Structure 1
Amino acid sequence: MLLLTVMPAVAAPMNAFRESAVTNPHGLIIFVRQQLDQAGTTLTPTRERELLWGMGTAAINSNDDAALAEATLRLDGLATMGHDPVAAAAAGFLRARHDIANGLGDGLGEALKAADKVLGEADPEIVAWARFQLCDAYALDEKAAKALPLCHQSIEAYRALNDDFGIGDAENDVGIALATLNRVGDAATAYERSRRYYAKVDAEQLVVMVGDNLSKMYLKQGRAREALALSQASLKQELAAGRISDSLDSRTDIAQAQAALGHHRQAYAQMREAVARARKAGINGQLIDMLRVESRLAEQAGDLRHALADEREAARLGSTVDTPALRAIEVELEQRYAVREKELRISELEHANELKDLQLKAAQADAARRREEQRRQRLVNLTIALLAAALLLIVGLLVLLLRAQRRHAAELQAQALRDPLTGIANRRAFQQRATELLGRPREAHALPHVLLLIDIDHFKSINDSIGHPQGDRVLRLLTDYLRIAVGSCFVARIGGEEFAVLCPQAGLAAGLRLAEILRAGVAALMLPKDLQVARLTISIGVAQFDGVRCHDLSSWMRAADLALYAAKSGGRDQVVASKLVG
């Protein structure tokens, strides 16, 4: 079974719930909801993110789709409102883990998008967290060759942080990846290392849990009795904690161990019960493998008809795409919030109607007292009322006209700042953003701002050889890549085939890393065959704003442009830093 526990993501203790998310997931979900309800608006974004990450991991371990949807939706809200990439990544990693475990959609792609959101972070805890989440996703998706390097990097990162719990998590994933490659002895050794690290931090329940993974290796090594004992201990603990998915895995291992000991009918009965529980829980991703195990055990028990039916059902589940459970929960929560909002709206309308009724009654009483006095002036009052209505109509028309003009002005302003071909910011928008950035007070210990100027190599030859419409396609393809790859930096097309990337307080080292990532990423782009361009490369000039040699936007742009010229002159497809820096 694959353990998903809360890992450190920021200086605040986001890892506070990682053990309880596995050992007591239902209790943790209740605790988090109480904390969220009691704190209300006084809860800090950092604390809320920590609570929601713990709730999400607990929801996955207990197969609670409603709690998972609640956690991911609120993390998405934190990411949007607070411009928090770590919250966005946390929501993405939770969705990826759920989708991979249940055989839904492109869970691995979701994990990669989540990791992209924190790409380039300097905090070593964030780096360790993101690497482990990717290691975890690749291991669960049975991409062992890609999982192992990331898992080993996670181990080193956790070792540097003196985080034995994190090392135990990563070693468990190493064992899963090695087991996928059928390296039984190596996988068993990795699981044993994982258990030792958990024991160092007194996480005894996780020691027992990894024992079920180890039992699979013991079974392949012919140690069926030892495997059975480990899986039975794990199942007892999982049932007590309410971890449905993990308990199904242990039941499967118990059935296979019983079969290895020659108890074929007992193993077959155990497996049929486990499959029934998986169907009831709707865990289709896990159900496919369980059906294949049941088919083998059915054949050993002499029930060939059931064995064939299991294989057919496994094949059918493997070839169909189910509606993601998470989407259904999200729709349910949205409907619930809509109902609440509607109830509040109705209450407000009822209160407003009561006030109007009181005002009407007061007006009627006042009208009755003044009716005699107003009788003589009825014509005058009618004239005044008509004039007032006409005035209100004129005012309303003027308001509508003013709003229309403001909307039109806003649209014109947006168009003036957007490049019509690529849809990103244009040179004017870049200059406004850069001028605003340089006008802010600079903090004493803040890293300098970094500017990247990017130019497509041999772009004139592309236009001349395949035509300007295809050249425009090249520009849009590059724009689509840059928009995603630059992360939190600001990207703009400042003319022709030239682009600028503005990275506030990034520092030259981070700027050069980003530039090299962009250069290598563009060179590796898979271009459409009908584009008739075999390979696309870019040259990049990098300059940091030091406040001395680069003291204004003009000198900063000039420094980056000189570096870009050096990259082009030096053979293209390369990154050059401005020599004016430092």
Structure 2
Amino acid sequence: MFRGAWLGLLLTLMAMPAVAASMNAFRERAVTDPHGLIAAVRQQLDHAGANLPPARERELLWGMGTAAINSNDDAALAEATLRLNSLAAVTHDPVAAAAAGFLQARHDIANGISAGLGEALQAANKVLGQADPGIVAWARYQFCDAYTLDDKPDKAIPLCQQALADYRALGDEFGMGDAENDTGLALATQDKVDDAAAAYKRSRQHYARAGADQLVVLVGDNLAKMYLKQGRPREAMALSQASLKQELAAGRVSDSLDSTTDIALAEAALGLHRQAYARMRDAVARARKAGINGQLIGMLQVESRMAEQVGDLRQALADEREASRLNNQAETPAQRVVEAELEQRYATREKELRISELEHANELKDLQLKAAEADAARRREQQQRQRLASVTIALLAAALLLIVGLLVLLLRAQRRHAAELQAQTLRDPLTGMANRRAFQQRATELLHHPREEHAAPHVLLLIDIDHFKSINDSIGHLQGDRVLRLLTDYLRTAVDDSCFVARIGGEEFTVLCPRAGLAAGMRLAEALRTGVAALVLPKDLPLTKLTISIGVAQFDGARCHDLSSWMRAADLALYAAKSGGRDQVVASKLAG
């Protein structure tokens, strides 16, 4: 499957106008001739040596890295990321650091490694606030592509649309093709077949205008998927076969596996079940050999359905079990917490930049106010000296005073707005409860304050809603949001003011109890657990029962000596509660 992945090469953003065409051709070559491009980049790097300008070296390494991902060349990818990180360290270049992070994220997500999305979030944060519109468009597209590849369409689509607008402003047809292609992928994940097909067609038009004819063919495989869902298998097969031919010629393993899968699905739709099954068996074997676990999960599910169609039930069951095992390995509760924290940090950073812009605007208003006041003073002195045209000067002074008043009111409004934005960074928008940032501030202040000699230790409760993903999947995200608000309302009434309650991400909440001691913390946790289990749920909420699991950890100053180790102790206790059957309270063994 051609994802348009990571094709918005940095070198096109930094190139001089005189070489823009060659940069576009180089960007396309990362997809259509990745092996040749890797060899050419290595030759240029070796030939230039220490005389290569940092910006040019960054462009070449980005091109090499994208080509390595497209050709599944781990050695070339490692070389590109290592040199980009080294370049970032020596030249203090955040764009080079972000490029290395985006490349690693793309590789990890494609191979089913759970840390991939976190890598993309950190990379995007490195270039947040850049003034160069080309860098902004590039970073937004990489971020959009990471969410698309990780099957998170709700977060991918807004970023893809922002990237599309950025590329449109730059007049970059190739970039618009990339953004539209990823938009189609995200819409397809939401099963919006007609909308996705329209996005793919727009992508092909942009690539055609950019002269990227081979990419027009490759995006055809994505369009083929929509044709299959629209009941047009013969048209779908023709598009996928054309795409597969180019992918095999370019040595692009991952995309060729996806096109092969689409051809097998088209054969099955035409009634050629055994032929389709044999093709999928071969494709799955190649995916295993290449170690592309992220893609292998979906291929195993397709093979399982085809095995069932031809009566090979033993293989169908084996495929489902293997897909389930790989999926469980790819995502852990701890990793979800890390990703939620990074997403919150990225969103907070965006708000902080907005606050900074407002503060800068306030400074300009202050200068304007002072200038207006000085001008008013000069006018008054001139009026006293000349004593002429008193009526005209009086009107002018009144007008200036009015302007001063308006500027004062505008300045106050700007300051109120900045204060409101600052408060929003500490509140969870869904529940109105304190968020992870507020929790970290409160916990850090508590731990920095010396504890009295005979005071009981501080206690931390980490709460997780049981089976929340299943709740979202079975009754929908809107009802899932109602469940979060129900739990929030209960915690507000059940926890007194001596403790601090926060939602730190997803279905996870914390209760911070200063100087409470482990015994009191366990009593509170058990009271909360039983209280939630006994909640009478609204009749229009299609859920029979709500339960929670709680991990409890006290701050002992030894094994739990800072916020990170304290959180880790509570997280391990929560994991034990989950593993032990859920609807439980477990105290940490790392503290106490």
| TM-score interval, normalised by the smaller of the two chains | 0.5 to 0.7
1:196 equivalent to 2:205? Answer yes
d(CA) in 1 for partners of 2:419 and 2:35?
Answer: 45
Match of 1:115 among 120, 124, 135: 124
Deviation of the 1:311 alpha carbon: 1.1
C-alpha deviations, 1:130-180, integer Å up to 9, x for none? 111111111111111111111111111111000111000000001001000
Q: Which has the larger radius of gyration?
A: 1
* Partner in structure 2 of residue 3 of structure 1: 4
1:102 equivalent to 2:102? Answer no
* Partner in structure 1 of residue 499 of structure 2: 532
* Partner in structure 2 of residue 521 of structure 1: 425
After superposition, residues 254-265 of structure 1 pair within 5 angstroms as 254-265=263-274
* Partner in structure 2 of residue 296 of structure 1: 305
d(CA) in 1 for partners of 2:351 and 2:44?
Answer: 32
Q: Conserved in 2, the CA contact under 8 Å of 1:152 and 1:170?
A: yes
d(CA) in 2 for partners of 1:76 and 1:515?
Answer: 38
d(CA) in 2 for partners of 1:203 and 1:38?
Answer: 29
Match of 2:34 among 17, 21, 25: 25
Q: Conserved in 2, the CA contact under 8 Å of 1:184 and 1:220?
A: yes
After superposition, residues 26-105 of structure 1 pair within 5 angstroms as 26-105=35-114
Deviation of the 1:523 alpha carbon: 4.3
Deviation of the 1:86 alpha carbon: 0.3
Q: 1:294 to 1:38 in 2, by over 3 A?
A: same
Q: Conserved in 2, the CA contact under 8 Å of 1:5 and 1:21?
A: no
C-alpha deviations, 1:366-387, integer Å up to 9, x for none? xxxxxxxxxxxxxxxxxxxxxx
d(CA) in 1 for partners of 2:420 and 2:102?
Answer: 26
* Partner in structure 1 of residue 293 of structure 2: 284
Q: 1:120 to 1:318 in 2, by over 3 A?
A: same
Q: Conserved in 2, the CA contact under 8 Å of 1:5 and 1:22?
A: no
* Partner in structure 1 of residue 480 of structure 2: none
1:176 equivalent to 2:80? Answer no
C-alpha deviations, 1:83-129, integer Å up to 9, x for none? 10000110111111111111102211211111111111111111111
* Partner in structure 1 of residue 15 of structure 2: 12
After superposition, residues 108-507 of structure 1 pair within 5 angstroms as 108-321=117-330, 485=349
Q: Conserved in 1, the CA contact under 8 Å of 2:351 and 2:421?
A: no
Deviation of the 1:308 alpha carbon: 1.2
Aligned identity (percent) is 66
Question: Which consecutive residues of structure 1, in runs of 5 or more, have no partner in the other structure?
Answer: 323-476, 490-500, 537-582
d(CA) in 2 for partners of 1:254 and 1:158?
Answer: 33
d(CA) in 2 for partners of 1:316 and 1:45?
Answer: 44
Deviation of the 1:516 alpha carbon: 8.5
Q: Conserved in 2, the CA contact under 8 Å of 1:117 and 1:487?
A: no
Deviation of the 1:46 alpha carbon: 0.3
Name the TM-score, length of structure 2 as normaliser: 0.58
Q: How many pairs align?
A: 368
Letter in 1 for 2:499: Q
Q: Conserved in 2, the CA contact under 8 Å of 1:6 and 1:17?
A: no
Letter in 2 for 1:302: G
Letter in 2 for 1:121: Q
Letter in 1 for 2:310: A
Q: 1:54 to 1:481 in 2, by over 3 A?
A: closer
Deviation of the 1:80 alpha carbon: 0.9
Q: 1:304 to 1:523 in 2, by over 3 A?
A: closer
Q: What RMSD in Å do the two structures reach over aligned CA positions?
A: 3.3
Deviation of the 1:486 alpha carbon: 9.9
* Partner in structure 1 of residue 578 of structure 2: none
d(CA) in 1 for partners of 2:221 and 2:186?
Answer: 15
Q: What SS class does the counterpart of residue 14 from structure 2 fall into? A: coil
Name the TM-score, length of structure 1 as normaliser: 0.59
Question: Which is worse superposed, 104-113 or 45-54?
Answer: 104-113
Deviation of the 1:320 alpha carbon: 2.1
Letter in 1 for 2:301: R
Q: What SS class does the counterpart of residue 311 from structure 2 fall into? A: coil
Q: Conserved in 2, the CA contact under 8 Å of 1:6 and 1:15?
A: no
Q: 1:69 to 1:521 in 2, by over 3 A?
A: farther
Q: 1:69 to 1:259 in 2, by over 3 A?
A: same
d(CA) in 2 for partners of 1:28 and 1:506?
Answer: 47
Q: What SS class does the counterpart of residue 7 from structure 2 fall into? A: coil
Q: What SS class does the counterpart of residue 262 from structure 1 fall into? A: coil
Q: What SS class does the counterpart of residue 3 from structure 1 fall into? A: coil
Q: Conserved in 1, the CA contact under 8 Å of 2:9 and 2:63?
A: no
Q: Conserved in 2, the CA contact under 8 Å of 1:55 and 1:67?
A: yes
Q: Conserved in 2, the CA contact under 8 Å of 1:116 and 1:487?
A: no
Q: Conserved in 2, the CA contact under 8 Å of 1:171 and 1:193?
A: yes
* Partner in structure 2 of residue 390 of structure 1: none
d(CA) in 2 for partners of 1:506 and 1:71?
Answer: 41
Q: What SS class does the counterpart of residue 19 from structure 1 fall into? A: helix
